[in-house]
Amino acid sequence: MKNERYLLGFDIGGTKIAVALGTDTGRIVASKRINSANRSPEEVLEDLAQTSKSLLDANGVKASDLMAAGIGAPGPMDIPKGTISPCNMKGWVDVPIRDIIADKLGVRTFFDNDANAGVLAEWFFGAGKRCRDLIYLTMSTGIGGGIIANGHLVVGKAFMAGEIGHIVLNPKGPACSCGLKGCYEAYCGGRALSIRLQRELTGQPDHPLVKFAGGNFENLGYPALIEGVKAQNGYSLNLWDEICMRNAQAIGIFGNTFNPEMIVLGTIAFHAKSLLLEPIRKYIPQFCWRQMIDSMSITTSALGKEIGEYSGICVALNGLFEAGEWQLPWNS
């Protein structure tokens, strides 16, 4: 299409990596997923390079035509150095992924964490278009966040801003994998919920939730719980009510702290929709000033399952935006 410019994006995950070729107008030209589970960094990075080249060739795009490439990856990471040591990828320690990708493809490459990549994707091309103050919450295995304030991504002194899954809601609450107690993630994260369900339902193979999990305790998690809520199971309803209240508590804190125009909820909320949003809206006045609530919309991701295809591309676009080399879509 006329006036479009091309970018490559990478969404790094513990088992899959999305490689996408897209444009600065938000059009995804082509994408492919490769396996990253139980593979060495060297093997995966070579696969990424070859997959990228095949996507370019198949669509008549030269590496020299690319504006940039972008990577969204899980932490821990060192943003200035461009290295990652993701907890969910065995053997990946201080891997200089940004520079390796740049060298293999011969293109300027930008790098950020996956939650920041998510908020950039929703800001540029999703639910948060035209917002200047926006928060995006990844709500999956864990809970992460990305923050746009006054039209820019908030990165922080140590490039670690947005770890809002680890605000402490109750210092006497359940232990979190981060080492704190009572974190938002420890109450509402997918891994924490699965552990809780397995603990509380042990010895109850006939419980409705176990049946919704296919009879496998290891499959207990949000999908089974949501089915339990829809079936009006008492245990499920009580637990869901608690989770919604804790979500409202956390979102209320974010509302009072940042006064955002919009808070976008991803993954679990995208699937649950009103089942989660309505109780959150009911509880949030207990935790947030009315002035903040009245100026803030709470919604679910507009990009949904496709957000991974946009995230790396949007990391690249944000790097260009901050360098003054690209304008926001609604300002161009």
In order of their start, the domains of the chain are: 6-117+305-322 (3.30.420.40), 127-301 (3.30.420.40)
**SS3 category, 48:** helix
Of 7, 14, 13, the closest CA to residue 31 belongs to 7
Q: In this structure, how many other beta carbons lie within 10 angstroms of the beta carbon of residue 30?
A: 15
Cα-based angle 204, 186, 117 (whole degrees, multiple of 5): 120
Q: What is the DSSP string of 158-179?
A: TS-TT-GGG-BS-TTS-B-TTS
293: left (phi over 0), alpha (psi -120 to 50) or beta: alpha
Question: What gap in Å lies between CA 147 and CA 258, rounded to an integer?
Answer: 9
Backbone angles phi, psi at 93, to 5 degrees: -130, 120
Report pLDDT digits (tens) over 85-118.
987 788 899 999 999 999 999 999 999 999 999 9
Residues in Cβ contact with 182 at an 8 Å cutoff, skipping those fewer than 6 apart? 168, 169, 170, 171, 172, 173, 174, 176
Whether the CA torsion 315, 46, 96, 17 is positive or negative: it is positive
Q: Tokens standing for 310? A: 């946009």
**SS3 category, 229:** helix
Q: Is the pLDDT score of 299 beyond 90?
A: yes
The residues that bridge with 69 in the sheet, in sequence order, are 8, 109
Question: What gap in Å lies between CA 225 and CA 213, rounded to an integer?
Answer: 9
Q: What is the mean pLDDT of the chain?
A: 94
Question: What gap in Å lies between CA 237 and CA 228, rounded to an integer?
Answer: 8
Cα-based angle 328, 329, 332 (whole degrees, multiple of 5): 80
Q: Is the pLDDT score of 1 beyond 60?
A: no
The confidence band for 37, taking pLDDT boundaries of 50, 70 and 90, is confident
Q: Tokens standing for 133? A: 């103050």
pLDDT, greater one: 250 or 38? 250
End-to-end CA distance of the chain: 16
Output the pLDDT for position 329: 85
Report pLDDT digits (tens) over 125-137.
999 999 999 999 9
**SS3 category, 226:** helix
Report pLDDT digits (tens) over 311-326.
999 999 999 999 999 9
Output the pLDDT for position 314: 98
Percent of the chain exceeding pLDDT 90 equals 89
